[in-house]
Structure 1
Amino acid sequence: MASGTAVAVGRVLVDPVTNPSAQDETVYISVVVPARNEESTIDAVVRRSFAAFNELGRRGEVLVVNDGSTDG
């Protein structure tokens, strides 16, 4: 995985992204992603979320909520 990106199966994930150009911005984006048996796709979802934050020049976090997955 890329630096600054993490996925924790079975736990809540909080991974803040800091964009130097957005340090003084007041908007902080939080994305909550429900994930059940998404081991094969969650990495791409998290990466795309961080890419969108960077494209918008905003700071953000992705919270992955896993509720009873059996895939990993």
Structure 2
Amino acid sequence: MIGTSEIILIFGIVIFWIPVILLIYLSIRYLINRSKKVHEEKTALDILKERYAKGEITKEEFEEIKKTLDSA
């Protein structure tokens, strides 16, 4: 039969390990999300190229904006 001291010991272990495991999980999740954001950042030129590829702007507009970006 489990006594009071064993119940307190088990409860103490659970109280200790749940926050530790949660902290590890949240840290890993943060690091993964952070590395994804670094790779997802696009430059103005990347966005310009995408807009031109989609047909949102003409070649003339593309060249004009590109010149502006190169001079900035």
What is the TM-score of this pair, normalised by structure 1? 0.27
- Is the radius of gyration larger for structure 1 or structure 2? 2
Structure with the larger helix share? 2
What is the TM-score of this pair, normalised by structure 2? 0.27
Higher relative contact order structure (alpha carbons within 8 Å, sequence separation ≥ 6): 1
